[in-house]
Amino acid sequence: MTPDTAHAPDHGPALRELFAVIDALLAENGCPWDRKQTPQTMTDYVVEECFELAEAIRADSPGRSTPDSRAEVMEELGDVAFLLLFVATLYHRAGHFDLSDSLRYSAAKMIRRHPHVFGDLKLESQEELLRNWERIKRAEKAEGDEGPKRVYESLPRGLPPLLKAYRVNSKAARAGFTWATDADQAAHMADEWREWEQAKADGDPARMHEEFGDYLFSLVEYGRRHGIKANAALEDANSKFLARFGLMEDAARAQGRDIAELTLDEMNALWERAKG
């Protein structure tokens, strides 16, 4: 089975236009700053723009999507694409590989990892699908080596902690190392909470730190088992709090007061109004 590209838009002209911009920036009479960059110096910009793209996509979630929010996603997608093409150009100019090599490699990898789509493999459940994906990934990494790679070998070390905890739990589950039932995992989380409470009662800062981390790790797994990604859920909670707090500040200013001057009861009253 091959991908159906009959109705895919032709991105060739736009890609050539963007590559032409990059070539002009890197030309001898181009931009001095761009000409100094290396793939290594560009990494922080790639990470920053990816965070901005993720923020724009979350802001465009169902129920909140508007023409402006979709325009923001479009813009941030372009910014990320520019940086990726810029880095690809730097590697190509150094004689290593070009973007086509990366794209073809990725296409082949996705076809190989989806034998249930591009082959005859039949899978009965989402869990079976994910385990097969993990098995294929490990087999790929083992090619030309002495044996299969470790389960967490491909886990990026620089992932934010909440996202990393989700991926750690997810990979463990795909390897079959997880609680048999949601109830078993919930009971474990309750045990972790009791251990935190005991550490707090003992007043041991180091143990409190450890047990609080253990509980957070278990809570991330609790969410994962219910289809919730802790990183995204916490980001939504952050955004909701900030929006409501902004409404509180606006209401306080409308009364000619600063939010810091209010009593807790007054702030709670404004908070309830903001929630409404």
Task: Return the domain boundaries, the chain.
Answer: 12-122, 161-228, 232-275
Query: Looking at the predicted structure, is the pLDDT value of residue 97 above 60?
Result: yes
Alpha helices in the chain (DSSP H): 12-26, 32-36, 43-59, 67-93, 99-113, 115-118, 126-142, 161-174, 182-202, 205-225, 230-254, 264-275
- Answer CATH for 161-228 from 1.20.81, 1.10.287, 3.30.310, 1.10.8: 1.10.287
The top-level CATH class assigned to 12-122 is: mainly alpha
Cβ atoms of 238 and 58 closer than 8 Å: no
Cβ atoms of 253 and 246 closer than 8 Å: no
Q: What percent of the chain has pLDDT over 70?
A: 95
Query: What whole-number distance in Å separates Cα of residue 238 and Cα of residue 232?
Result: 10
> CB-based burial of residue 12 (10 Å sphere; 0-12 exposed, 13-18 middle, 19+ buried)?
exposed
Residue 60's contacts (CB-CB under 8 Å, 6 or more residues apart) are 66, 69, 70, 72, 73
Short-list 234, 237, 262, CA closest to 248: 262
Residues in the chain: 276
Give the mean model confidence (pLDDT) for residues 261-266: 94
Residue 237: the pLDDT is: 92
Residue 157: the pLDDT is: 83
Query: Looking at the predicted structure, is the pLDDT value of residue 53 above 90?
Result: yes
Per the structure block, which two tokens stand in for 88?
């690809």
Query: Looking at the predicted structure, is the pLDDT value of residue 146 above 60?
Result: no
What is the band of 124 on the pLDDT scale with cuts at 50, 70, 90? Answer: confident
Residue 6: the pLDDT is: 59
Q: Which of the two residues, 205 and 61, has the higher pLDDT score?
A: 205
| Fold match between domain 12-122 and domain 161-228 | yes
Query: What whole-number distance in Å separates Cα of residue 114 and Cα of residue 266?
Result: 57
Q: What is the pLDDT of residues 157-179, one digit of tens each?
A: 888 899 899 999 998 998 889 99
- N- to C-terminal Cα separation, the chain: 52
What is the band of 142 on the pLDDT scale with cuts at 50, 70, 90? Answer: low
Query: Looking at the predicted structure, is the pLDDT value of residue 8 above 80?
Result: no
Cβ atoms of 149 and 141 closer than 8 Å: yes
Query: Looking at the predicted structure, is the pLDDT value of residue 125 above 90?
Result: no
Short-list 239, 271, 242, CA closest to 61: 239
What is the band of 49 on the pLDDT scale with cuts at 50, 70, 90? Answer: very high
Residue 144: the pLDDT is: 56
Backbone φ/ψ region at 250: left (φ over 0), alpha (ψ -120 to 50), beta: alpha
